[in-house]
Amino acid sequence: MARLAVLLHGRETDVPLYEAALGGKARNFVWGEGAPAYSEVAGLAHDYPTLRGFLAAQVPEWHPWTRLVLVAFSSGGWAARAWLRNEADRKLVDAVLLLDCLYPDVSGGGCAASIVEGPVAYARLVSGSPGTRTLVVTSSGYTEPCVGLLARSAPASPAVHIFAPGGTHRSHMEVAGPSAVAEWVRPKLGVLPLGTRLPVAAGAAAGASGALAALWLTGRLSV
């Protein structure tokens, strides 16, 4: 089963780090500089209001059965938090990494609940399927107000990891992210969630040798 990490606002040098950690393919997307480049007002989340639309248009490696890891760093968090408000988009993603990217929209140290609405909803999804999904959130001094609100709002789950790794801003993407993928995400990606569709070769019993058929899984399948 194909594994794919979509990186938002990383660097091309991050790609091999995530490919090694995931044991799959990684693609990096930089839509511009700063929050406006990724926001719903005029940025990435405006150009593509849904994650599915973005993947279909920009990521030819993606298919509905791909094991997908969404990694948002810094300004990339504006797009990720918007997409995660969409229930259908949340269900597309096996793991979400929000790396030092949940910034308050206003100064003063507070955090509006709308900023963490999508991440909290994904945390609830993860808590219902901890064996197959993962949420990783890192914070620094700048993002602590919103990450703190997320931590207080999200259900407790062994598959939700919220922590402050220390180091530089870039080290969240270069060190903490790949380590989290290797330790917490990759081991789960050999197990498919209940109800997953994937293409399989139809056997002789189906009377269509060599054709592709859709198999609806009624349990979990190791691949």
Give bridge partners of residue 33 from the DSSP assignment: none
Q: Per CATH, is 3-191 categorized as 3.40.50.150?
A: no
Which pLDDT value is given to residue 119?
98
Write down the pTM of the prediction: 0.86
Taking only the tens of pLDDT, the chain with its 223 residues reads 799 999 999 999 999 999 999 999 999 999 999 899 999 999 999 999 999 999 999 999 999 999 999 999 999 999 999 999 999 999 999 999 999 999 997 666 689 999 999 999 999 999 999 999 999 999 999 999 999 999 999 999 999 999 999 999 999 999 999 999 999 999 999 755 555 544 443 333 333 223 222 222 222 233 3
25 secondary structure, DSSP code: E
Q: Which of 125, 27, 111, 109 is nearest to 76 (CA)?
A: 27
Ranges of each domain in the chain: 3-191, 192-223
